[in-house]
Structure 1
Amino acid sequence: MSTSEQDLQLDKPNPARVYDYLIGGKLNYAIDREFAHRILEIVPLSAEICLLNRYWLRRVVRFAVEQGIRQFVDVGSGMPTEGHVHEVAQGIAPECRVVYVDNEPIAVAHSEIVLEDNDRAIMINADGLEPDEVMGHPETRRLLDLNEPVMVIMAAFLHFTSPEGERDEAVELLARYADHIAPGSYFAISLATSEASDPSYLDSIAAYKDTTRPIYARTHAQTRALLGGFELVDPGVTFTVAWRPDTLGSYADDPSKACLLAGVARKS
C-alpha cells in the first residue's frame, strides 16, 4: 500500500490532520478530533506546543530571508494555515519561492486552492521521505534553481522516522536531501523529544501508535547528531520556544515545556 493510499483511509487518525485541529484548523475529520482530545487529556498544553512550533517556523523563515535565502522547500508542510512559509517569506522579500511537500490528500487539495493565485509558491504531491522524488519533481525544478541556496524545512516531520536500528533513518534522509542542495543552504528541523519536563508527554507520543504514523522521540544528543554533518547555527539545538525567541514569556523558567526540539544548520 502506498503512503497516499494509507493516508486516504479514515479508520485511523492522521497526524497531519490532528496537528491541524490542534492549531485551530478545520481540515480534519471526527476521528482526528477525537484523537486530538485524547492527546489533550494526556498533555493539556498540546495545542500550545503545536502553536509554539508554528511560531518557531516563522522565526526560522525570517532568519533565512535575512541570510539572503530566497528559496524554500517545506517538507511535510501539512495543512495551509495563517502565517505559512510563503506568507512570511514573501512578506519580507516578494521574490521568495516556496515548494510545499505533502501527500495527505486534504493538505494537497487545500494548499493548491490557497496557492492558485501565487506564481511563486506551489504544493507538490510527493512523499517527503523520498528526497529524489521531492527535489527531482518537475514543479520543484521549474520553480527553484537548485544551484542556488535553499532552506529545507522539516517542522515536526523527522519524528516520523525511526532512530532505532544500526543507523538513525533521519541521518540518511538529511544526507540524501543534502545531495540535492547547494552550499550555503540550510536545514531547519523540529521534532519530538524524550527529554521534555512533562513525563506525560511520552505517554502522548506512545498514543500515536494508533495513528497512520507513529512518532519516535529523540534526545538532545540524537537531535544534534542529525545535524552533525552541517554547521549548526546559534543557539544550537534548543526547545522551539528558546530558538531565537521574541520572548520566552511563561516558558522562561522551563523551555522544555515546549516539548519539541529545534535546530538550524548550514551546508558548507
Structure 2
Amino acid sequence: MERPAWAPPGIDISVPSVSRIYDYYLGGSHNFEVDRQAARRAMEFLPGLPKIMQANRAFMRRAVRHAVAEGVTQFLDIGSGIPTFGNVHEIARAASPEARVVYVDHDPVAVAHSQAVLAGDELTGVVTADLRKPQEILTGPEVVRLIDFERPVALLLVAVLHFIEDSDDPYTAVAQLRDALAPGSLLILTHASYEGIPLSQEIAGGAVGVYRDIRNPLVMRDHQEISRFFDGFEWVEPGLVSMPDWRPDRADAPADGDTPEDPYAFSGFGGVGRKA
C-alpha cells in the first residue's frame, strides 16, 4: 500500500481511523482506502451518515458563533479530528480576531494535519491527548500557554463522547473538565443516538457494528443519558435537541422553496450548557 506524502511516519495506514472516516463523510481528502471502505460499509446500513456529519458541523459553527456573542473567546476542542473548512478557529476568528483555540486529539494523523494547517498561528495550539485522561489535557503545554482557566472557556465535545464506552467512565471525565472551567464557561456537545434516525434500530445497528468491527465502538446513548453530561451546567435555550433544531439561522437553514432538511440530519442530539 502506497503511503501518501501527508501521512505521518509511524502510523499504520492499514487500520481505519474514526477521524479519517469522518473526513471522508465530509468530502475531505485526508483518508485512506481502508477508511473509505469502512465508511462505505457503514453507509450500506445508514446512507445518511454524511448528512448527519454535515448537520453536526453546522451545529458546531452556530454554537461557536453563539459563544463569541456571549463574550467567550477561548475554545478547547477535544476530539477535534482532521482540519476541514469551517473549523473552530476560522469561525471564532471571523467574529473575534483575538480568539484562542486549542485542538486536542489522540489520532496522530489528525494532530499532524492540525499542526501543518496551523503552523505560525500563535493563537492556536494542538495537543496529543485522550479525553479519557482529562488531567493530561488540562496540563498540556499548549493548553497552559493559550487557555486562561480564570476566564470563561468554551469546551467542545463534538461527536466524540459516543466513542467513549461506559467502562471508561465518560461522565467522570466530563465532570473533571467542567470543574476546571470558570463560571460563564460553555459546554458545546453533540452525541449519536438511535433517537431521530429514520430507520429501525435493528437496521441502524448494522452501522454501529461496522465501528465495533474496526475496534472503535460507537456507543449510542438516549436523550436522558446524553443530558447527564450537562450536570453542573444550565441549559442554553432550546436545550438538548436535534442538531438542526438548535438555534437555526439563515446561513444554515434551507432557503424558502427548497426541499425540507434531510431527515437524517435530525439523528442524535446537540446542546449547549453554561456553567453557573
Q: Calculate the TM-score normalised by the size of structure 2.
A: 0.88
Q: Is the 8 A contact 1:65 1:89 kept in 2?
A: yes
Deviation at 1:257, TM superposition (A): 4.6
Q: List aligned pairs for 1:179-190, cutoff 5 A.
A: 179-190=179-190
The SS at the match of 2:188 is: strand
Are positions 1:91 and 2:94 aligned together? yes
Counterpart in the other structure of 1:162: 165
- Cα RMSD of the aligned pairs, angstroms, is 1.9
Q: Which moved more, 1:38-47 or 1:8-17?
A: 8-17
By how many angstroms is 1:201 displaced?
A: 2.7
Deviates more, 1:193-202 or 1:87-96: 193-202
Count of matched residue positions in the alignment of Structure 1 and Structure 2: 258
Give, as a single letter, the amino acid of the residue that structure 1 aligns with 2:179: D
Aligned partner letter, 1:49: I
Q: Decide which of 228, 231, 244 is 1:228's aligned counterpart.
A: 231
Q: Which amino acid aligns with 1:195?
A: E
- Residues 1:135 and 2:143 aligned together: no
SS in 1 for 2:156: strand
2:195 aligned partner: 195
Correspondence for 1:20 = 23
Equivalent residue letter for 1:267: K
Give the SS at the match of 2:50. Answer: helix
**Structure 2 letter corresponding to 1:79:** I
SS in 1 for 2:247: coil
Specify whether residues 59 and 223 from structure 1 end up closer, same or farther in structure 2 by C-alpha distance, changes over 3 A only.
same
Do structure 1's residue 51 and structure 2's residue 54 form an aligned pair? yes
2:37 aligned with 1:34, yes or no? Answer: yes
Contact 1:201–1:259 (CA under 8 A) maintained in structure 2: no
Kindly, what percent of the aligned residue pairs are identical? 38
In 2, the alpha carbon distance for the partners of 1:251 and 1:198 equals 18
State how far apart, in whole Å, the 1-side matches of 2:272 and 2:209 are: 27
Closer, same or farther: CA 23–43 of 1 in aligned 2, 3 Å: same
d(CA) in 1 for partners of 2:75, 2:177: 13
TM-score, normalising length: structure 1: 0.90
Contact 1:152 1:187 (C-alpha < 8 Å) held by counterparts = yes
1:251 to 1:243, Cα distance in 2 relative to 1, 3 A: farther
The alignment partner of 2:205 has SS state of helix
Show CA shifts across 1:226-257 (max 9, x none): 213210111111111111112554556x8665
Aligned partner of 1:194: which letter? Y
Unpaired runs of 5+ residues, structure 2, are 1-9
Counterpart for residue 171 of structure 1: 171
Give the Å deviation of 1:202.
2.9
- C-alpha separation in 2, matches of 1:41 and 1:125: 33
SS in 1 for 2:195: coil
The partner residue of 1:238 within 236, 241, 246 is: 241
